[in-house]
Amino acid sequence: MSAAHKKALCINIMRYLALRGMRKSDLAAKADVSISYISDVTNAKGNPSLETMVAIAQALEVPLVALLEPPPVGIDGWDASLADALLKDDGKVGLPPGYRRVSAIVSDHQAFQISKWHKAAHDRLKTKS
């Protein structure tokens, strides 16, 4: 598994834990793995097998692909500062030069503006593909 995929997996697991109000120990029990192994995975140190990733996804009640995709930083209310710290090299997770992922606390109006910019950027990236 590439470093970028390990980071995405780590961030997404932490994100889904936070969104579901779960602890690492809850996830470990539901996925039938040790808490130390979950800690390794959530610190981007572990190299889980496909079987283990499926068990983690099932325990979090998400499709496996949701754990492997670059995280949607800042769109679901999750404090994405961890993602900002881990995804310093966006080029490795699919963003071309001139684009970068950020998270911020902004007013409703600013969030509306940002959502328009976000859509425009996505549209530009789709046409480049």
Residues constituting the chain = 129
CA 90, CA 121: separation in Å to the nearest integer? 15
Domains and CATH numbers, the chain: 1-129 (1.10.260.40)
Q: Global pTM? A: 0.60
CA 45, CA 57: separation in Å to the nearest integer? 18
**Per-residue tens of pLDDT for the chain, all 129 residues:** 777 788 888 888 988 888 888 899 999 999 999 999 998 888 888 889 999 999 999 999 999 998 988 776 555 555 555 555 555 544 444 567 777 766 677 888 988 898 888 888 878 877 765
Angle between helices 35-42 and 3-20 (to 10 degrees): 120
Q: Is the dihedral of CA 60, 63, 66, 67 positive or negative?
A: positive
